Amino acid sequence: MGDQDPPIHHDQDVHRFATTVDGERAYIDYRLEGGVMTLTHTWVPDAIGGRGIAGRLVRHALEHARAEGLRVHPACSYADAWMRRHPEVEDLRAA
């Protein structure tokens, strides 16, 4: 993926960040409570896997959290592992 990455859309009504790549929808779900964004599930169909899409979704969700002054609880194992690999976002992690 690169400069021509498909946009990621924030659907606040269903607490989801999503993108469509090659006709396939990928997303990360979250819930909000008490100033904490809990990342609950990341989904990328096999047909578009291995392109860094899940990482883009997590980064986008974390950028949103930072802009909104939210802490992040990565309940999703992928989001948790991604945050551990990117120490520059660890300050967002909820205690």
* Residue extents of the structural domains in the chain: 9-92
| CATH number attached to the domain at 9-92 | 3.40.630.30
pLDDT at 95: 76
Per-residue H/E/C for 16-76: EEEEEECCEEEEEEEEEECCEEEEEEEECCHHHCCCCHHHHHHHHHHHHHHHHCCEEEECC
pTM for the model stands at 0.94
pLDDT at 2: 56
What backbone phi and psi angles, to 5 degrees, belong to 49?
Answer: -70, 165
Q: Profile the chain (95 residues) by mean pLDDT over runs of 10 residues.
A: 81 97 97 97 97 97 98 98 97 93
